[in-house]
Amino acid sequence: MNTLNVGDRAMPSVGLGTWKIERTEAARVVRNALELGYRHIDSAADYGNEVETGEGINAALTSGAVLRDDLWVTSKLWNTYHRKEHVRAACERSLKDLQLEYLDLYLIHFPIASPFVPFDERYPPEWVQPGHDAMVLEPVPLQETWHAMESLVEAGLVREIGVCNYNTGLLHDLMAYAKIKPANLQVESHPFLTQSNLLRTAQSYGLPVTAFSPLGALSYVSLDMATDADTVLTARPVVEAASRVGRTPAQVVLRWGVQRGTAIIPKTTQPERLKENLALFDFELTNDEMTAISDLNVNRRFNDPADFCEAAFGRFHSIYD
């Protein structure tokens, strides 16, 4: 499988995203993915299915379908655990739920800090604190959180650390104070949101990028954050390339993602789609096709706190200009 160098290790460039996989399905889907050849699982405390994801991983490890040394597992620090005294406990909770001794990669999920919610009060803690009607923020410097993340590497709980949903300004700042440099940046990216400047900035720091929601609107229609009309899969450059290479439009969009140098973490629960999403490395898009698909960019961001926080959680909060 194609890989990206993340820190000193090789991360498979196609992973299974577990966001929005129902708890009743997660163990089955994760085990099935690993048996089909996936070696990269992307998880997070906030997804609410790490226990079941861990059951799927453990089943595949126990059956011999995969060895732990060949498996890459990512998880993420939620907003409520940004203070330095909470970072390790949050990581250890994810490790316990995932039935792992270490994480390959641990990411700050959002550059947003909220007040701590004890595990026994509510877990996952979600966006709105118990007893409140709207999202509450807490002034925790990102530098404090990052240095606590560094201590996880030093303790052997995680192999690599990184960030999600950071913009270029936050990246420049992070690089100025990080003792252990970030090993990965995970951001939304697809043909309608190419994020070219951000990717070039990351590249200038030698920082590999993972694209979440690599198929764009498909992740958000069920959340009423996009409509069927927002799909990139019917765009002419995608359809024409799919016809030429004899693949599905979804495979073309995913191939565009890996061919431009990012890792991708598409989510699906369907066995045939799991197979399709891995089958990206026996065909290539031409330079003209890559350019035409990139030219579909309209800076359409589906996962934007400025859009969903106020509507869903009662408070406007923007992290992108």
Measured over the CA atoms of residue 251, residue 257, residue 39 and residue 218, the dihedral's sign is negative
Helices and strands: H and E segment counts in the chain: 11, 10
* Joined tokens for residue 153: 């590497």
Contact of 195 with 166, CB cutoff 8 Å? no
Query: What are the percentages of helix, strand and coil residues in the chain, rounded to 5?
Result: 45, 15, 40
Q: Given the structure tokens 């973490």, which residue do they identify?
A: 265
Query: Which residues carry out catalysis?
Result: 47
Cα angle 277, 279, 281 (rounded to 5 degrees) comes to: 120
Measured over the CA atoms of residue 145, residue 147, residue 149 and residue 155, the dihedral's sign is negative
Which residues is 268 bridged to in the sheet? none
Q: At 240, is the secondary structure helix, strand, or coil? A: helix
